[in-house]
Amino acid sequence: MEIEQGAGGKAAGGEGEGGNGVPVEAGAELAIASRILADLGVFDAAGHVSMRHPGNPQRFLMSRSLAPALVTADDIMEFTLESTPCDARGRTPFIERYLHGEIYRKRPDVMGIAHGHSPAVIPFGLTSTPMRATYHNAAFLAAGVPVFDIRDRFGVTDIVISSAERGAGAADALGDKAVVLLRAHGFIAVGPGIQAAVFRAVFTEISARVQLQAAALGGSIAALDAEEGRLADAINLATVGRSWELWKRRVTT
């Protein structure tokens, strides 16, 4: 098997910065990531994606509050890990930016985050049936997929991750895993680079659909075990650029 090097584990950088302090190449790649996830049906009008600042690990980049399919590089903002905009310039940030900031604070290995509300994923946050890695592209799920039930920590709420405290709760539930489900809400996928985070968001949604289809057939499901998942995920991270370039072509031409 041919292995493509260098695509999955590094955050994108840029040789210069735009007028808002966002590295030009990083801002462009993050905007593409947002449009990819909308194009593939992983995001609806309210999903969002972020990346750790390639030049400052104490900052992250994220779009202003905007439908994911409409995001361009000019919409990308810089935030502190407290989720405070560095230069808002009148732009409105996402309410749920706190889940990004708190995960970056607790997980120095995370360089990209995607949060969406895919209908196929929602049932696994509502029931006791665990989400499983149904095939090799979803290998990262084999390590386990925790569920964050906001009621357990905050009681009755509006479900939205709208504060640092709620973001910290989601980050704690994520732990060292690649994906956490949010009860009655959606999911968060993380990765060692923005391309890997996008890949994991895409295949979280696809694997959920496969699992639902397999369950409908009846009988046991021969999903990947933890070791199979670890081995297959290493290959996926090394070759993620192949998928990225195809998906990028769809939203840039």
Residues marked as catalytic: 96
Q: In sequence order, what are the beta bridge partners of 114?
A: 49, 189
SS in 3 state form for the chain? CCCCCCCCCCCCCCCCECCCCCEHHHHHHHHHHHHHHHHCCCCCCCCEEEEECCCCCCEEEEEECCCHHHCCHHHEEEEECCCCECCCCCCCECCCHHHHHHHHHHCCCCCEEEEECCCCCHHHHHCCCCCCCCCHHHHHHHHCCCEECCHHHHCCCCCCCCCHHHHHHHHHHHCCCCEEEECCCEEEEEECCHHHHHHHHHHHHHHHHHHHHHHHHCCCCCCCCHHHHHHHHHHHHHHHHHHHHHHHHHHHC
